[in-house]
Amino acid sequence: MTSPQNTRIAEVSRKTRETSIELRLNLDGTGEVSAITGIGFLDHMIDALGRHGRLDIDLKVTGDLEVDDHHTAEDCAIVLGTAIDQALGERRGITRFGDACAPLDEALVRAVLDLSGRPWPEVHLDFTREALGGLATENIPHFFRSLAIAGRFCLHLDLLRGENDHHKAEAAFKALAVALRSAIRLDGTGTIPSTKGAL
């Protein structure tokens, strides 16, 4: 079997009239992250995703932030999801399922995912503030939904408790990271984990 370090890497470029994005993703990394999106809070969250998921992420974005943060957040998620999908290839030999709970002080978030090839996002985080830094809180669930759709996986992300919106958001990214790390782990079989024989 080919070494995963040689195969589970994806490079994705996406250019529209709204954003220009370059991404290199290594699923078998050490958590080295460089995220430059123009939105400090989004950079912080992508850093948490990479570090706790042990993903190497090199992300550079130029977006129409003079309009607002929506296009940049959405397109970053689309590109990250696309890269995850590409790096997984046939999804041969992966664990497939992953779940994790992550706390940050009073906040607790549960992430459950299935790298099924069938996108289905259920995201319930119950933010109360309008924005965190330069990122509208409405765009945080939208980021997760766009990520799951582009990545072709089923994601359930639920706030179990919490009061501080920063803590809720960071716990959500960390929970997803740990669950994803479990789901992408290679089990040594080299088989596709599905009764259908394809994901």
Quick one: fold of 4-184?
A: Ribosomal Protein S5; domain 2 (3.30.230)
pLDDT at 95 over 60: yes
pLDDT at 4: 44
Q: Which residues are CB-contacts of 113 (< 8 A; sequence separation ≥ 6)?
A: 97, 98, 99, 148, 153, 154, 155, 156, 176, 179, 180, 183
Structure tokens at 155: 């994601």
Query: pLDDT by residue (tens digit) across 28-41?
Result: 999 999 999 999 99
- Report the chain's mean pLDDT, rounded to a whole number: 95
> Which pTM was predicted?
0.95
The residue count for the chain: 199
CA distance linking residue 21 with residue 186, whole number of Å:
29
pLDDT at 167 over 50: yes
Where are the chain's structural domains?
4-184
Percent of the chain with pLDDT over 70: 97
CA distance linking residue 157 with residue 137, whole number of Å:
15
pLDDT at 199 over 70: yes
What is the separation of C-alpha 89 from the centre of its chain, rounded to a whole number of angstroms? Answer: 17
